[in-house]
Amino acid sequence: MLEIMTERCCLRPMTDADFPALCRYLQDPGVMYAYGHAFSDREVWDWLRRQQARYVVPGYGALAVELRETGEMIGQCGITMQDCAGVTACTAAADGEEGGQAPAGEEEGPSALLSERIDATPRTLQVPEVGYLLAKNYWHRGYATESARACMEFAFDVLGVPEVFSCIRDDNTPSLAVARRNGMELCGRFSKHYYGQDMEHLLYVARKESWGTWMTKC
């Protein structure tokens, strides 16, 4: 059974017994503003079943984040494959952020890195994403950063991917801060249509070749 341990958390597959804990944050409008709506009971069950199917194929998905000290489930974090439709290149400097620029098609010839295939031409990419969602009373305690960092390490070391991405609404300040704290850089932007709304998203990336060096310095 897939488990990822951090200093304070155990990340484990979700079970049906987690339904009440899932409802506590998936049905909280304050938590779910990035999705545009809070989930109904049916949507929570569908969400849970989707993750459980992912544990079988491809063998990973969003995991329950459980406090090691108390056993309480406080949210979820994990690696899933996500479609980014119509993504175009964007750098930290171009978007008014501090930090270095993420390369976008700078090398000649095809690149093995998805982030380096992004340019001014809109395209659709399927990327391995680290996603995280916590109950509101556990925000601003470092749990999302800690859990996401462990999942990124899992993606690089166990899944063997060269890059890990995060697709984040451009007004989701807490999630953007987590990505930056974990050494991710802005590389693209796209619009996602969800529940009748067009939502602007930023695409962040961390590359295995440089992330290990970054980790030794943080």
pTM: 0.88
Nearest alpha-carbon partner for 47 in 24, 12, 66, 23: 23
Higher pLDDT pick, 113 / 88: 88
Q: Domain range for residue 14?
A: 4-217
* 198 CB-contact burial (10 Å; exposed 0-12 / middle 13-18 / buried 19+): exposed
User: Dihedral (C-alpha) 153, 154, 160, 163: value to the nearest 10 degrees?
Assistant: -50
* Total structural domains within the chain: 1
User: CA–CA separation, 142 vs 217, rounded Å?
Assistant: 18
**What is the per-residue pLDDT across 86-98, written as a single tens digit (0 to 9) for each?**
999 987 655 555 4
CATH number of the domain bearing residue 110: 3.40.630.30
164 pLDDT higher than 50: yes
